[in-house]
A and B are shown apart, each in its own frame.
Chain A
Amino acid sequence: MLHTATILAEALPIPVICTKNTDSAPFGTPLCRARLPLLERMLAITAGVKSAAPYQNPPVPGEPTAGFWGVPPRDFSILGLFPETTHIYGWARCMENKTPADHDLEAQFNPEVPTVFFAQSFCAKTALARYLAKKHPHALYLDVDVHTTGSARAKVQAFLELSGVRP
Protein backbone atom coordinates (compact mmCIF):
# COMPACT_ATOMS: atom_id res chain seq x y z
CA MET A 1 0.00 0.00 0.00
CA LEU A 2 2.70 2.41 -1.04
CA HIS A 3 0.21 5.06 -2.20
CA THR A 4 -1.53 5.00 1.18
CA ALA A 5 1.79 5.50 2.95
CA THR A 6 2.56 8.44 0.67
CA ILE A 7 -0.74 10.11 1.49
CA LEU A 8 -0.36 9.48 5.22
CA ALA A 9 3.18 10.85 5.16
CA GLU A 10 1.87 14.09 3.72
CA ALA A 11 -1.14 14.31 6.00
CA LEU A 12 0.35 13.37 9.37
CA PRO A 13 2.77 15.41 11.47
CA ILE A 14 4.66 12.25 12.48
CA PRO A 15 7.16 10.18 10.48
CA VAL A 16 5.57 7.40 8.40
CA ILE A 17 7.76 4.38 7.78
CA CYS A 18 6.62 2.37 4.76
CA THR A 19 7.03 -1.37 5.24
CA LYS A 20 7.04 -4.11 2.66
CA ASN A 21 5.68 -7.63 3.03
CA THR A 22 8.59 -10.00 2.51
CA ASP A 23 6.72 -13.29 2.96
CA SER A 24 7.72 -15.15 -0.16
CA ALA A 25 7.99 -18.79 0.96
CA PRO A 26 4.98 -20.62 -0.57
CA PHE A 27 2.93 -22.81 1.75
CA GLY A 28 0.83 -24.27 -1.08
CA THR A 29 -2.81 -23.82 -2.07
CA PRO A 30 -4.54 -27.16 -1.43
CA LEU A 31 -7.77 -25.62 -0.13
CA CYS A 32 -8.11 -23.44 -3.22
CA ARG A 33 -8.02 -26.54 -5.41
CA ALA A 34 -9.94 -29.01 -3.25
CA ARG A 35 -13.42 -30.36 -3.88
CA LEU A 36 -15.19 -29.10 -0.77
CA PRO A 37 -17.85 -26.46 -0.07
CA LEU A 38 -16.46 -23.07 -1.08
CA LEU A 39 -17.67 -21.33 2.06
CA GLU A 40 -16.00 -23.95 4.27
CA ARG A 41 -12.72 -23.57 2.41
CA MET A 42 -12.77 -19.78 2.55
CA LEU A 43 -13.38 -19.92 6.31
CA ALA A 44 -10.37 -22.23 6.67
CA ILE A 45 -8.19 -19.94 4.55
CA THR A 46 -9.04 -16.84 6.56
CA ALA A 47 -8.58 -18.74 9.84
CA GLY A 48 -5.20 -19.93 8.55
CA VAL A 49 -3.60 -16.50 8.85
CA LYS A 50 -3.37 -17.07 12.61
CA SER A 51 -0.84 -19.86 12.18
CA ALA A 52 2.57 -20.03 10.52
CA ALA A 53 2.78 -23.80 10.77
CA PRO A 54 2.94 -25.87 7.54
CA TYR A 55 -0.37 -27.39 6.44
CA GLN A 56 -1.08 -30.89 7.73
CA ASN A 57 -3.09 -33.50 5.78
CA PRO A 58 -4.01 -31.24 2.87
CA PRO A 59 -7.13 -32.24 0.90
CA VAL A 60 -6.63 -33.81 -2.51
CA PRO A 61 -7.13 -31.53 -5.51
CA GLY A 62 -10.34 -31.78 -7.54
CA GLU A 63 -11.08 -30.98 -11.18
CA PRO A 64 -12.51 -27.46 -11.43
CA THR A 65 -15.81 -26.63 -13.13
CA ALA A 66 -15.91 -22.99 -12.01
CA GLY A 67 -13.68 -20.30 -10.57
CA PHE A 68 -13.97 -17.69 -7.87
CA TRP A 69 -11.36 -14.93 -8.16
CA GLY A 70 -11.01 -12.32 -5.45
CA VAL A 71 -10.55 -11.53 -1.81
CA PRO A 72 -12.59 -13.20 0.93
CA PRO A 73 -15.92 -11.35 0.69
CA ARG A 74 -17.42 -9.36 3.54
CA ASP A 75 -20.60 -11.38 3.12
CA PHE A 76 -19.69 -15.05 2.87
CA SER A 77 -23.23 -16.05 1.90
CA ILE A 78 -22.42 -15.46 -1.76
CA LEU A 79 -20.01 -18.40 -1.62
CA GLY A 80 -22.92 -20.76 -1.05
CA LEU A 81 -24.00 -20.26 -4.66
CA PHE A 82 -20.92 -21.97 -6.06
CA PRO A 83 -20.44 -25.72 -6.55
CA GLU A 84 -17.87 -27.68 -4.55
CA THR A 85 -15.80 -27.95 -7.71
CA THR A 86 -15.04 -24.22 -7.69
CA HIS A 87 -11.36 -23.34 -7.54
CA ILE A 88 -10.26 -20.21 -5.70
CA TYR A 89 -8.00 -17.63 -7.34
CA GLY A 90 -6.85 -14.10 -6.64
CA TRP A 91 -5.74 -12.71 -3.31
CA ALA A 92 -7.59 -15.43 -1.39
CA ARG A 93 -5.17 -17.89 -3.01
CA CYS A 94 -2.26 -15.68 -1.95
CA MET A 95 -3.65 -15.80 1.59
CA GLU A 96 -3.59 -19.57 1.68
CA ASN A 97 -0.12 -19.57 0.15
CA LYS A 98 0.96 -17.02 2.79
CA THR A 99 2.47 -14.82 0.09
CA PRO A 100 0.15 -11.79 0.17
CA ALA A 101 2.38 -9.67 -2.07
CA ASP A 102 2.72 -12.28 -4.83
CA HIS A 103 1.16 -10.35 -7.71
CA ASP A 104 1.86 -13.08 -10.24
CA LEU A 105 -0.06 -15.63 -8.20
CA GLU A 106 -2.84 -13.14 -7.62
CA ALA A 107 -3.24 -12.52 -11.35
CA GLN A 108 -3.57 -16.21 -12.23
CA PHE A 109 -6.86 -17.66 -13.47
CA ASN A 110 -8.03 -20.73 -15.35
CA PRO A 111 -9.38 -19.76 -18.78
CA GLU A 112 -10.95 -23.22 -19.15
CA VAL A 113 -13.62 -22.69 -16.48
CA PRO A 114 -16.30 -19.96 -16.11
CA THR A 115 -15.02 -17.60 -13.45
CA VAL A 116 -16.59 -14.92 -11.28
CA PHE A 117 -14.21 -12.02 -10.72
CA PHE A 118 -15.41 -10.70 -7.43
CA ALA A 119 -14.77 -7.17 -6.19
CA GLN A 120 -16.03 -5.16 -3.26
CA SER A 121 -16.68 -1.44 -3.30
CA PHE A 122 -13.73 0.63 -2.09
CA CYS A 123 -11.39 -2.36 -2.34
CA ALA A 124 -8.07 -1.77 -4.08
CA LYS A 125 -8.52 -5.04 -5.98
CA THR A 126 -11.51 -3.77 -7.96
CA ALA A 127 -9.49 -2.51 -10.91
CA LEU A 128 -7.52 -5.76 -11.15
CA ALA A 129 -10.73 -7.81 -11.02
CA ARG A 130 -12.19 -5.84 -13.90
CA TYR A 131 -8.97 -6.02 -15.90
CA LEU A 132 -8.63 -9.79 -15.52
CA ALA A 133 -12.34 -10.36 -16.22
CA LYS A 134 -11.86 -8.72 -19.60
CA LYS A 135 -8.94 -11.02 -20.36
CA HIS A 136 -10.77 -14.18 -19.30
CA PRO A 137 -12.78 -15.78 -22.13
CA HIS A 138 -15.76 -16.65 -19.93
CA ALA A 139 -16.03 -14.31 -16.99
CA LEU A 140 -18.50 -12.42 -14.86
CA TYR A 141 -17.21 -9.26 -13.21
CA LEU A 142 -19.18 -8.76 -10.01
CA ASP A 143 -18.91 -5.64 -7.90
CA VAL A 144 -20.87 -5.68 -4.65
CA ASP A 145 -21.16 -3.31 -1.74
CA VAL A 146 -21.31 -4.35 1.91
CA HIS A 147 -24.04 -6.95 1.52
CA THR A 148 -24.77 -9.33 -1.33
CA THR A 149 -27.88 -7.91 -2.99
CA GLY A 150 -30.56 -10.00 -4.63
CA SER A 151 -29.43 -8.90 -8.06
CA ALA A 152 -25.82 -9.85 -7.30
CA ARG A 153 -26.93 -13.31 -6.20
CA ALA A 154 -29.11 -13.65 -9.29
CA LYS A 155 -26.19 -12.69 -11.54
CA VAL A 156 -24.00 -15.41 -10.05
CA GLN A 157 -26.79 -17.99 -10.27
CA ALA A 158 -27.58 -17.08 -13.84
CA PHE A 159 -23.93 -16.95 -14.89
CA LEU A 160 -23.22 -20.41 -13.50
CA GLU A 161 -26.41 -22.00 -14.83
CA LEU A 162 -26.23 -20.41 -18.28
CA SER A 163 -22.56 -21.41 -18.48
CA GLY A 164 -23.53 -25.02 -17.93
CA VAL A 165 -22.00 -25.32 -14.45
CA ARG A 166 -23.84 -27.92 -12.42
CA PRO A 167 -24.67 -27.14 -8.78
Chain B
Amino acid sequence: MILGDFGTSYCKFLDLDAPGGEPTIIATKELPREIRVDLATGHNGKRFAARYVNELIALARGGEALIREEEYVLLDCGSRDIKFIKYQNGKLADMGWNAECGASMGFTIELLERYYELDYTHLRVPEQTFSVTCGVLGMSDIFDAVISGVEVAEAVARFVKGIALNAYRFAGSPARLYLSGGLCDNPLFVGSFPCQVTVLGRFVLLRGLESEARQPTPSSR
Protein backbone atom coordinates (compact mmCIF):
# COMPACT_ATOMS: atom_id res chain seq x y z
CA MET B 1 0.00 0.00 0.00
CA ILE B 2 1.38 3.38 -1.00
CA LEU B 3 0.66 6.44 1.13
CA GLY B 4 0.99 10.01 -0.12
CA ASP B 5 1.07 13.39 1.59
CA PHE B 6 0.48 15.85 -1.22
CA GLY B 7 1.65 19.23 0.02
CA THR B 8 1.77 22.57 -1.73
CA SER B 9 5.51 22.56 -2.34
CA TYR B 10 6.56 18.97 -1.58
CA CYS B 11 4.95 15.54 -1.75
CA LYS B 12 5.95 12.74 0.60
CA PHE B 13 5.42 9.03 -0.06
CA LEU B 14 5.74 5.81 1.89
CA ASP B 15 5.35 2.26 0.57
CA LEU B 16 4.11 0.08 3.43
CA ASP B 17 4.91 -3.08 1.47
CA ALA B 18 8.59 -2.25 1.09
CA PRO B 19 10.51 -3.83 3.99
CA GLY B 20 12.35 -1.12 5.89
CA GLY B 21 11.11 1.41 3.38
CA GLU B 22 11.87 5.04 4.09
CA PRO B 23 9.69 7.97 3.03
CA THR B 24 10.61 9.75 -0.17
CA ILE B 25 10.11 13.39 -1.14
CA ILE B 26 9.66 15.08 -4.46
CA ALA B 27 8.85 18.67 -5.32
CA THR B 28 5.17 19.11 -6.14
CA LYS B 29 5.98 20.87 -9.39
CA GLU B 30 7.82 17.72 -10.52
CA LEU B 31 4.97 15.37 -9.60
CA PRO B 32 3.93 13.11 -12.50
CA ARG B 33 0.29 13.84 -13.32
CA GLU B 34 -0.53 10.15 -13.64
CA ILE B 35 0.68 9.20 -10.18
CA ARG B 36 -1.81 7.33 -7.96
CA VAL B 37 -1.57 6.18 -4.35
CA ASP B 38 -3.83 4.08 -2.13
CA LEU B 39 -4.31 6.56 0.69
CA ALA B 40 -3.68 10.29 0.55
CA THR B 41 -3.72 13.46 2.59
CA GLY B 42 -2.66 17.03 1.90
CA HIS B 43 -4.59 19.72 0.07
CA ASN B 44 -3.68 18.23 -3.32
CA GLY B 45 -4.35 14.65 -2.27
CA LYS B 46 -7.91 14.08 -3.44
CA ARG B 47 -6.80 14.17 -7.06
CA PHE B 48 -4.36 11.30 -6.63
CA ALA B 49 -6.15 8.68 -4.54
CA ALA B 50 -9.47 6.94 -4.17
CA ARG B 51 -9.31 7.27 -0.40
CA TYR B 52 -8.51 10.55 1.31
CA VAL B 53 -7.89 11.51 4.92
CA ASN B 54 -8.14 15.16 5.84
CA GLU B 55 -4.97 16.79 7.09
CA LEU B 56 -6.10 17.50 10.64
CA ILE B 57 -7.05 13.87 11.16
CA ALA B 58 -3.76 12.71 9.63
CA LEU B 59 -1.88 15.11 11.91
CA ALA B 60 -3.77 13.92 14.99
CA ARG B 61 -3.23 10.25 14.14
CA GLY B 62 0.46 10.93 13.52
CA GLY B 63 0.73 12.63 16.89
CA GLU B 64 -0.98 9.71 18.61
CA ALA B 65 1.53 7.33 16.97
CA LEU B 66 4.65 9.34 17.78
CA ILE B 67 3.98 11.08 21.10
CA ARG B 68 3.72 9.01 24.26
CA GLU B 69 2.06 11.67 26.40
CA GLU B 70 -1.46 12.44 27.54
CA GLU B 71 -1.12 16.20 27.15
CA TYR B 72 0.59 17.95 24.30
CA VAL B 73 0.31 20.46 21.50
CA LEU B 74 1.37 19.38 18.02
CA LEU B 75 1.89 22.20 15.53
CA ASP B 76 2.34 21.58 11.82
CA CYS B 77 3.96 24.35 9.81
CA GLY B 78 3.86 23.67 6.12
CA SER B 79 4.29 25.61 2.96
CA ARG B 80 0.74 26.88 2.68
CA ASP B 81 -0.83 26.79 6.12
CA ILE B 82 -0.40 26.06 9.81
CA LYS B 83 -2.49 23.74 11.91
CA PHE B 84 -2.38 22.35 15.40
CA ILE B 85 -3.89 19.67 17.58
CA LYS B 86 -4.06 19.92 21.35
CA TYR B 87 -4.60 16.86 23.55
CA GLN B 88 -5.52 16.86 27.24
CA ASN B 89 -5.98 13.72 29.30
CA GLY B 90 -5.40 11.73 26.12
CA LYS B 91 -8.34 13.34 24.35
CA LEU B 92 -8.76 16.03 21.75
CA ALA B 93 -9.08 19.40 23.51
CA ASP B 94 -8.57 21.96 20.76
CA MET B 95 -7.54 22.31 17.16
CA GLY B 96 -6.97 24.96 14.56
CA TRP B 97 -6.23 25.29 10.90
CA ASN B 98 -5.18 28.64 9.57
CA ALA B 99 -5.27 28.34 5.83
CA GLU B 100 -6.22 31.92 5.05
CA CYS B 101 -4.56 34.50 7.32
CA GLY B 102 -1.56 32.21 7.86
CA ALA B 103 -1.32 31.59 4.16
CA SER B 104 1.95 30.87 2.45
CA MET B 105 4.23 31.35 5.45
CA GLY B 106 6.46 28.37 4.69
CA PHE B 107 6.33 29.07 1.00
CA THR B 108 7.45 32.67 1.56
CA ILE B 109 10.29 31.66 3.88
CA GLU B 110 11.70 29.35 1.21
CA LEU B 111 11.17 31.94 -1.48
CA LEU B 112 13.10 34.55 0.47
CA GLU B 113 16.03 32.20 1.07
CA ARG B 114 16.40 31.63 -2.66
CA TYR B 115 15.79 35.21 -3.70
CA TYR B 116 18.32 36.69 -1.30
CA GLU B 117 20.67 33.67 -1.57
CA LEU B 118 20.65 33.10 2.17
CA ASP B 119 21.32 29.97 4.21
CA TYR B 120 19.06 29.65 7.23
CA THR B 121 21.50 27.31 8.93
CA HIS B 122 23.89 30.24 9.26
CA LEU B 123 21.46 32.92 10.45
CA ARG B 124 21.18 33.61 14.16
CA VAL B 125 17.85 34.19 15.86
CA PRO B 126 17.42 37.99 16.03
CA GLU B 127 16.42 39.90 19.11
CA GLN B 128 13.88 41.97 17.20
CA THR B 129 10.96 40.68 15.20
CA PHE B 130 8.29 41.83 12.78
CA SER B 131 4.61 41.48 13.54
CA VAL B 132 3.78 39.00 10.81
CA THR B 133 0.31 37.51 10.40
CA CYS B 134 0.56 36.62 6.72
CA GLY B 135 3.52 35.46 4.69
CA VAL B 136 2.73 37.63 1.71
CA LEU B 137 1.80 40.83 3.54
CA GLY B 138 4.75 40.43 5.92
CA MET B 139 7.25 40.87 3.12
CA SER B 140 6.56 44.62 3.16
CA ASP B 141 8.27 44.77 6.55
CA ILE B 142 11.42 43.26 5.04
CA PHE B 143 11.54 45.79 2.24
CA ASP B 144 10.90 48.68 4.64
CA ALA B 145 13.64 47.48 6.99
CA VAL B 146 16.17 47.08 4.17
CA ILE B 147 15.38 50.57 2.89
CA SER B 148 16.01 51.93 6.38
CA GLY B 149 19.46 50.34 6.49
CA VAL B 150 18.91 46.95 8.12
CA GLU B 151 20.97 44.12 6.61
CA VAL B 152 18.94 41.81 4.36
CA ALA B 153 19.84 38.73 6.42
CA GLU B 154 18.77 40.46 9.63
CA ALA B 155 15.50 41.65 8.08
CA VAL B 156 14.65 38.19 6.78
CA ALA B 157 15.53 36.66 10.16
CA ARG B 158 13.14 39.09 11.88
CA PHE B 159 10.48 38.05 9.40
CA VAL B 160 11.06 34.34 10.10
CA LYS B 161 10.94 34.97 13.83
CA GLY B 162 7.69 36.89 13.39
CA ILE B 163 6.17 33.92 11.60
CA ALA B 164 7.33 31.55 14.34
CA LEU B 165 5.80 33.79 17.02
CA ASN B 166 2.55 34.00 15.08
CA ALA B 167 2.41 30.22 14.76
CA TYR B 168 3.20 29.88 18.46
CA ARG B 169 0.31 32.19 19.45
CA PHE B 170 -1.99 30.42 16.99
CA ALA B 171 -1.24 27.16 18.82
CA GLY B 172 -2.29 28.72 22.13
CA SER B 173 1.16 29.84 23.40
CA PRO B 174 2.07 26.53 25.07
CA ALA B 175 5.09 26.10 27.33
CA ARG B 176 6.31 23.35 25.02
CA LEU B 177 5.18 22.02 21.71
CA TYR B 178 5.88 19.34 19.15
CA LEU B 179 6.63 20.65 15.68
CA SER B 180 6.01 18.92 12.38
CA GLY B 181 6.23 19.93 8.74
CA GLY B 182 8.87 21.14 6.34
CA LEU B 183 9.89 24.05 8.55
CA CYS B 184 11.32 21.56 11.06
CA ASP B 185 14.43 21.59 8.84
CA ASN B 186 14.87 25.34 9.30
CA PRO B 187 16.97 25.95 12.44
CA LEU B 188 16.28 29.69 12.41
CA PHE B 189 12.54 29.04 12.45
CA VAL B 190 12.73 26.36 15.14
CA GLY B 191 15.04 28.49 17.28
CA SER B 192 12.66 31.46 17.05
CA PHE B 193 9.94 29.85 19.16
CA PRO B 194 9.81 31.27 22.69
CA CYS B 195 9.13 27.84 24.18
CA GLN B 196 10.55 24.34 24.30
CA VAL B 197 10.24 22.71 20.89
CA THR B 198 10.50 19.02 20.04
CA VAL B 199 11.02 18.52 16.33
CA LEU B 200 9.22 15.54 14.79
CA GLY B 201 10.12 16.17 11.16
CA ARG B 202 8.13 16.35 7.98
CA PHE B 203 6.66 12.83 7.89
CA VAL B 204 4.14 13.09 10.75
CA LEU B 205 1.16 13.14 8.38
CA LEU B 206 2.50 10.03 6.66
CA ARG B 207 2.67 8.33 10.07
CA GLY B 208 -0.94 9.38 10.58
CA LEU B 209 -1.88 7.84 7.26
CA GLU B 210 -0.08 4.69 8.29
CA SER B 211 -2.22 4.51 11.43
CA GLU B 212 -5.36 5.04 9.38
CA ALA B 213 -4.29 2.36 6.91
CA ARG B 214 -3.83 -0.18 9.68
CA GLN B 215 -7.26 0.47 11.21
CA PRO B 216 -9.66 -2.41 10.60
CA THR B 217 -12.49 -0.16 9.47
CA PRO B 218 -11.37 2.37 6.89
CA SER B 219 -12.80 5.85 7.39
CA SER B 220 -12.86 7.18 3.89
CA ARG B 221 -13.47 10.87 3.54
Contact = CB atoms under 8 A, between A and B. Distances in A.
Interface of A: 140, 149-151, 154-155, 157-159, 161-163
Contact of B54 (A149, A157, A163): A157
A149 B99 contact: yes
Kindly state the interface size class of chain B when it binds its partner: 10 to 19
B169 interface: no
B56 interface: yes
A151 B100 contact: yes
B43 A150 contact: yes
Nearest to A140: B95
B221 interface: yes
B95 A155 contact: yes
Interface of B: 43, 54-57, 60, 81, 85, 91-92, 95-100, 219, 221
Interface of B (DSSP majority class): mixed
B221 A151 contact: no
Given A140-B95, A158-B95, A159-B95, A151 B57 contact: no
Nearest to A114: B92
B170 to A, nearest CB: 13
Given A150-B43, A150-B99, 7 more contacts: A140-B95, A149-B99, A151-B98, A154-B55, A154-B57, A158-B95, A162-B85
A40 B96 CA distance: 28
Given A150-B43, A161-B57, A162-B60, A155 B92 contact: no
A157 B81 contact: no
A151 B54 CA distance: 9
Shortest beta-carbon contacts, A-B, top 7: A158-B56, A151-B99, A154-B54, A162-B92, A151-B97, A158-B57, A162-B60
Given A161-B219, A162-B92, A163-B92, A155 B100 contact: no
A157 B95 contact: no
B57 A155 contact: no
B97 A154 contact: yes
B44 to A, nearest CB: 12
B221 A155 contact: no
A6 to B, nearest CB: 32
Nearest to B98: A151
A161 B64 CA distance: 14
Nearest to B221: A157
Contacts of B81: 151
Contacts of B97: 151, 154-155
Nearest to A137: B93
A158 B60 contact: yes
Nearest to A152: B97
Contacts of A159: 92, 95
Contacts of A162: 56-57, 60, 85, 92, 95
B54 A158 contact: yes
A151 B57 CA distance: 12
Nearest to B59: A158
Contacts of B85: 162
Nearest to B92: A162
A157 B57 contact: yes
Nearest to A145: B100
B56 A155 contact: yes
Contacts of A155: 56, 95-97
Contacts of A154: 54-57, 97
Nearest to B64: A162
A40 B206 CA distance: 37
A151 B60 CA distance: 15
A162 B92 CA distance: 7
